[in-house]
Amino acid sequence: MICWASTLAVYAQDTQSSGASTGTNEIKTIFGNGTGKCKIPMGYFIELNEAYSHFGHKSVFLPGISMGLILDHSWTIGMTGSFISDPNGGQFHHSHQDSTGTNKHKSDLNGGYGGLLLEYTLFPKSRVHVSFPLTIGGGYIYHSHLAHLSDSTETQNKWYHHGDSFFVIEPGVKLEVNVVKHLRIDLGVSYRYSPERDHWITSPDLLNQLTGKLTFRFGKF
């Protein structure tokens, strides 16, 4: 709600200044330069992204969404979130210990993470430039598996869920292209780090992984 309210404020403040010089204040794009000048110190964005990463031994896709404000063309502050989406079913080998001993299952890994997005962009008015995003936040990961229960009277199936919350910090670097005036395409890489070491699900070898990401960013830059 804050982001959309800020967007309305930006539109309200987008008035043309008279007598301003042309040239250096104009954002350059691949398919035609943007007309006019950047007349406001504050912009906004909303982006859709698709990331590829590993959680433990398993490859996963992480679709996500981000939105926020852009200050003076270079500084970005906003919110971001991603969730696990695996077209192959997301099956992980999972061990569960109970009164009967240790049982091994194939289970689905679900969850996601997100939080505060901070970003600095070098030469944002150039057609191609570099940005340095940083995500600080948290998430939740859980295993879901189907167990076969039987006693003297009946046999039934029951779903079990085991999960943990975790803190995460994810610095990265990405290459941005100004395709048209209100669209940027980004290709980047980041490293997801979580200090959680005592939890059963969110062990460091599960969470601490590299991530590649393709992003489509729309807005007023």
pLDDT digits (tens, 9 = 90+) for 104-163: 556 677 889 999 999 999 999 999 999 999 999 999 988 776 555 554 444 445 556 677
Closest CA to 215 of 38, 8, 49: 49
Rounded to two decimals, the pTM is: 0.72
CB contact set of 47 (below 8 Å; sequence gap of 6+):
65, 66, 67, 186, 215, 216, 217, 218, 219
- Domains in the chain, ordered, with CATH? 40-220 (2.40.160.20)
- Judge whether 214 and 186 are in contact, CB under 8 Å: yes
Closest CA to 138 of 92, 217, 195: 195
- Judge whether 158 and 147 are in contact, CB under 8 Å: yes
What does the mean pLDDT of the chain come to?
77
